[in-house]
Amino acid sequence: MRRIALILALLSLVALAPAPAVSGGASGTPTFRMTGAIGTGVELNLGVLPNGHIFVGTWDGPHKSTDDGLTWTNINNIGAGISANVAADRTLTVDKQTGRVFQDDTTLGCTILAWSDNEGASWLRNPLACGASATDHEKIAVGPRTSTFADPSGAQYPNVVYVCANGLVDDACGISLDGGLTFTTGEPHGVNCAFQGQPVADSAGVLYEPSVACGPQVRVSANNGLTWVVHTVPVTASQETGPLADVATTPDGTLYFLYEDTSYHVKYVYSKNQGSSWSSPVDLTPVGVTSAEFPVIVGGDNGRIGVAFYGTTDLGMVNKDPGAAGTGVAWNGYVGVITGADTLLPTVQVVQATPSGDPLHYGCISKDAGCGGDPIADYMDIDVGPDGRLYAAFMDACLPGCTSHAQSTTAYAVVAVQTGGTNLKA
């Protein structure tokens, strides 16, 4: 009887637990479930820890889930000076090696960086984590040291932490060798050409910034942000305020540049030589999707990338800027896995992650809410978990029951959690 009781107790625990994690080598069309509303704010960042716990950066504080997105805790305990009332361009990044969670807010003159090594139970702060002389669209990147900042003793923080930002006339990255405590500023670059998307460092520590502000280009630093070179990306990309470029890398050093063309299709090209030359474009836009916005990308194992974006199937949006969408245009969330991404014949599996009949928004979408106060603005985010599954953070302006532009006024984060199919682990 005692054994039977124990078995029944274990079965009840299994029933309450999240679905088993998808392992590497899984195949088939990717599937996703959407979480409920998490937190408020029109700009979202997301990071998955090495143990699979999820962090989402929202304007009312970072939120954490330890059960694969089923439930969430608001960890708004960072302290005075970096709370919801300072949440301008708030950004969040996870160091995949150490598990350290970073959150940053701009005060325009500089940025306030906070970090936690215990999943948000306590935080340290640096109120002067400056990149450019005046900061806008600041982003945090973390990557390996190059020989420039070698640490043979292993006494310092193992990775270089960057806070990159757009200044009044140029861009710059603050460089920290001690995990965020102190910063030095690298060479100004991108004069009158703001970067977009998320800077990333590859497995060798080479740092990349994407931009389409002055035509498609990638800024490259091989010495941890001290100096930069610029490589043109030979594609035709939209330069409207919403279709921003983004980049990702894989362990073999392949660089992927994600963008929207002038027909508002999501495409990518890749480079095997740090941006000196590029592949032909690959169109990721599913059949029937007529326009897209805010594409983001993340790298997985070699040859595998994940993407996410807002998309519409409205026939009136063919070749049309999302910022010019009419009030009846419905937008859903799309997430996809691309395998063989660095080959001539990649396998593209991009699916609608949001349920049919429950769109994220009705009406126009544009950076800075530039098309008339729409609640979706600036950026969303995507990340990959330790088992290769994708997580994508969308803004839901149209909660269940919303059926029109007039009702599409909320600003809640939701996350698409991969539940099956091909993922980013080979």
The DSSP annotation for 175-225 comes to EESSTTS--EE---B-TT----S--EE-TT--EEEEE-BTBSEEEEESSTT
| Cα–Cα distance measured from residue 373 to residue 39, given in angstroms and rounded to the nearest whole number | 19
45-48 β-sheet, strand order: 45-48, 54-58, 61-65, 73-74
Say whether 277 sits in a helix, a strand or coil. coil
Say whether 287 sits in a helix, a strand or coil. coil
Q: Please report the pLDDT score of residue 414 as a whole number.
A: 95
311 Cβ contact partners less than 8 Å away, ≥ 6 residues apart: 285, 286, 289, 291, 292, 293, 331, 332, 333, 334, 352
| Cα–Cα distance measured from residue 184 to residue 161, given in angstroms and rounded to the nearest whole number | 11
Q: Please report the pLDDT score of residue 411 as a whole number.
A: 84
* Paired tokens of 122: 């306590």
| Cα–Cα distance measured from residue 247 to residue 198, given in angstroms and rounded to the nearest whole number | 7
| Cα–Cα distance measured from residue 328 to residue 337, given in angstroms and rounded to the nearest whole number | 29
| Cα–Cα distance measured from residue 298 to residue 304, given in angstroms and rounded to the nearest whole number | 9
* Paired tokens of 106: 């701009």
Q: Please report the pLDDT score of residue 189 as a whole number.
A: 84
Structural domains in the chain plus CATH codes = 30-420 (2.130.10.10)
Is there a contact between 129 and 104 (Cβ–Cβ < 8 Å)?
yes
| Cα–Cα distance measured from residue 310 to residue 369, given in angstroms and rounded to the nearest whole number | 15
Q: Is the dihedral of CA 314, 332, 93, 115 positive or negative?
A: positive
| Cα–Cα distance measured from residue 195 to residue 131, given in angstroms and rounded to the nearest whole number | 13
The vertex-393 CA angle with 390 and 398, nearest 5°, equals 130
Q: Which residue bears the tokens 């716990």? A: 53
- Count CA atoms within 13 Å of residue 239 on its CB side: 11
CA R_g for the chain = 21
- pLDDT tens string, the chain, 426 residues long: the values are 334 343 333 333 333 334 444 556 788 999 999 999 998 877 889 999 999 999 998 888 899 999 999 999 998 877 644 443 455 678 899 999 999 999 988 777 778 889 999 999 999 888 777 766 667 777 899 999 999 999 988 899 999 999 988 777 778 888 999 999 999 988 888 887 878 888 999 999 999 999 988 889 999 999 999 999 999 999 988 876 556 899 999 999 999 999 999 999 999 999 999 999 999 999 999 999 999 999 999 999 999 999 999 999 999 999 999 988 999 999 999 999 999 999 999 999 999 999 999 999 999 888 755 676 667 777 889 999 999 999 999 999 998 888 888 888 888 999 999 999 999 999
Q: Please report the pLDDT score of residue 23 as a whole number.
A: 57
Phi, psi for 395 (deg, rounded to 5): -95, 125
Say whether 11 sits in a helix, a strand or coil. helix
DSSP 273: S
79 Cβ contact partners less than 8 Å away, ≥ 6 residues apart: 114, 123, 125
User: Considering the entire predicted model, what is its pTM?
Assistant: 0.91
> β-strand 246-249 against 255-260: which pairing, if any?
antiparallel
